[in-house]
Amino acid sequence: MLYVLGREKLDNWLAFLEKKARLFVPGKEKFEPYQGNITFESKPLLSPKEFFLPPREPMLSFEVTPGAFPEKLSPSPDERIIFGVRACDAYALTLIKKVYQEDVFFSLRYKNTSLIGKACLAESTDCFCWAMGIDPFSGSGLDLLFLEKDEKLLLKPITEKGKTLVPVEAKEALPEDKALFNEIAKNFLKNKNPSPSLLRLKEKDLMTIYNASFWEKLSFACLNCGICTFLCPTCYCFDVHDEVVGEKGLRIRVPDSCMFLLYTQHASGHNPRRSPLARFRNRFMHKFKYFLDEYGEPLCVGCGRCNTNCPAGINLWEIIQAMGEV
């Protein structure tokens, strides 16, 4: 099913969505609550992962007195709609979901959030979803996908929930609109194939890649900061932390980064991944080998955030290629 909405009705659509649930739209740095204006030229720096694995997920609340029973907390059940999500970011959530299926926090947040995706019309030089084997027009992970073309919005509901997000003003699409949609989708993927390195990686022996000599050279520039992991829409590691102020305490889940020294540090001081190289290697091995072996696809959606924001100039492709060529 495909619907058409005039571009000028966009504000009406947003107003309609705002009535249904808390509405978030893309800003420059992160998704922000809708306040009457919207731009979607580029992806926000922080992906919608922030809504599902938030920077602060309270799990328990307690009084710091012996014998006190903690109170179990769960995310607020309020419905949310995130508007203008890119296909890559939405696909990332389906990857995280493979691991987090049984996690109560993630599941509840996933259930309560609707994602409205915006189709990318032109390829950008920074990102490469297709190289990771993702079809951005499949709408995977989204509830509704829309495409902006010549003063027209073409709306394609993906899920049952997505159908309820179509505004009343939207009309059923004519055959020529459908053809247009299909053509744009087809053109986008023309000459764009999944990276051959990825296919090669599937067959490579894990320990050969792990012990390869290129890691030393490629990891040299890395500062082991957490930019790539925190901006990555697929990185899902977390840390559990007890916050106490006075008598009140809260056990929270916060995002963690495998680039940090503390990530693997035992209480005894022993650290299995003490060297910066080991931590660097672990991140890419997880994304492009461990996850690939377990689930058949890499833990990367090609959004390009890590490449553009890395202060040390590390590039994902160099590493994938090196891994594929060992």
Residues numbered 131 to 190 that lie near other proteins (CB under 8 A) are none
- 200 phi-psi bin (left φ>0, alpha ψ -120 to 50, beta other): alpha
Q: C-beta of 286: minimal distance to other proteins in Å?
A: 7
Handedness of CA 176, 177, 178, 181 (dihedral sign): positive
Quick check: 104 binds other proteins (CB under 8 A)?
yes
Candidate list 9, 30, 152, 163; residue touching other proteins; CB under 8 A: 30
Q: Exposed/middle/buried for 237, CB within 10 Å: 0-12, 13-18, 19+?
A: middle
Quick check: 257 binds other proteins (CB under 8 A)?
yes
Q: Which of residues 62-81 bind other proteins (CB under 8 A)?
A: 62, 64, 66-70, 72-73, 75-76
Quick check: 50 binds other proteins (CB under 8 A)?
yes
x-marked contacts with other proteins along 215-254 as a string, rule CB under 8 A: -----xx-xxxxx-xxx----xxxxxxxxxxx-xxxxxxx
Q: C-beta of 26: minimal distance to other proteins in Å?
A: 14
Specify the residue, 55 or 196, whose C-beta has the smaller distance to other proteins.
55
Report H helices in the chain: 10-20, 49-52, 87-100, 104-112, 160-163, 175-188, 196-203, 206-210, 214-219, 227-231, 276-285, 291-295, 305-309, 316-324
Candidate list 149, 161, 200, 286; residue touching other proteins; CB under 8 A: 286
Q: C-beta of 227: minimal distance to other proteins in Å?
A: 5
Q: C-beta of 115: minimal distance to other proteins in Å?
A: 16
**How close are the terminal C-alpha atoms of the chain, in Å?**
46
Report whether 285 contacts 278 (CB < 8 A). Answer: no
Specify the residue, 39 or 317, whose C-beta has the smaller distance to other proteins.
317
Kindly determine how many residues on this chain lie close enough to bind other proteins according to the rule CB under 8 A. 99
Report whether 80 contacts 112 (CB < 8 A). Answer: yes
| Nearest-angstrom CA–CA distance, 309 and 232 | 11
Candidate list 38, 99, 184, 326; residue touching other proteins; CB under 8 A: 99
